[in-house]
Amino acid sequence: MDQANDAPPPLRSTAALYLDFDGTLADIALHPDEVLVSEPLPQLLLALRERLAGAVAVVTGRRLAAVDAMIAPARLAGSGLHGAEIRASGDAAAQLHADPAGAGPLAQALRQRFAGDPRIYVEDKGAAVALHYRQAPECERQCRAAMHELAPAGRFDVTEGSRVIEARPRGADKGAALAALARLPPFAGRNPVFVGDDATDEDGFRAAAGMGGFGVKVGPGPTAARYRIAEVGAVHEWLHDSLAALGREGAR
């Protein structure tokens, strides 16, 4: 992986924008339910969607419904659960492309394993399970071992993020999510731009590059992305700058 350092250029009217949520549009919190969204963000996303002819999507490890609740009244096309959930437009219903049967038992087993430590949070997402240890970083090795032990290998892939270990549906990833959305209108035929902060976003960066677009890494660390933005506030600034540039492009 390269160490991208350059800031991305403003979006062009030919772009399709794919956005991670946690760590990209909103700062990561100690607990996933405590994430705060800046007040101007929903209207900014709606304005960008209008300028890009609808081609703005959220691609997240959360359920899309959870993101909808935080960015209302914006409701975007996108993918949830790392690609297992796809929604072609904000008006459409999300389609789940995974068997959720194993997530409940896995979540219960993990809760039993860590019942004595309230700092460790088990998040049952319906078809995926996340084990959060942000409040107990010294438990990383223990959490990793438990997830690999308890997640059925034939049903889940185990991935790691920012102080979280996650079992996601087998074969689901954000690169596949981008590819699925890129086949649909209004994303088809546009240059994909994928913005994310975590290891799970690297698949999206590679997919965007393979389709003639690029990735934008938020924060430090080696990455396959071409460009880098320092933190969430700077992502919002770049989105505002892109909206202004799109307005000038449309006025010409």
Domains identified in the chain and CATH numbers: 15-93+172-251 (3.40.50.1000), 100-169 (3.30.70.1020)
- SS3 label, residue 134: coil
DSSP state of 156: E
Residue 6 is a catalytic residue: no
Residue environment code for 54-84, b if the CB has 16+ CB neighbours within 10 A, otherwise e: bbbbbbbbbbbebbbebbeebbbbbbbbbbb
Residue positions counted in the chain: 252
Taking CA atoms, 89 is separated from 16, 24, 40, in Å, by 13, 21, 22
| Phi then psi dihedrals of residue 63, to 5 deg | -70, 145
Task: Give residue 100's pLDDT.
Answer: 72
Task: Tell me what pLDDT residue 143 has.
Answer: 97
pLDDT of residue 248: 87
The active-site residue, picked from 2, 20, 68, 197, is 20
Q: What is the pTM of this model?
A: 0.92
- For residues 66 and 220, give the distance between their C-alpha atoms in angstroms, rounded to a whole number: 27
3-class DSSP assignment, residue 167 = strand
The mean pLDDT values, 10 residues at a time, for the chain of 252 residues are 82 98 94 93 98 97 95 96 92 82 91 95 92 95 96 88 90 93 96 96 97 97 96 98 92 66
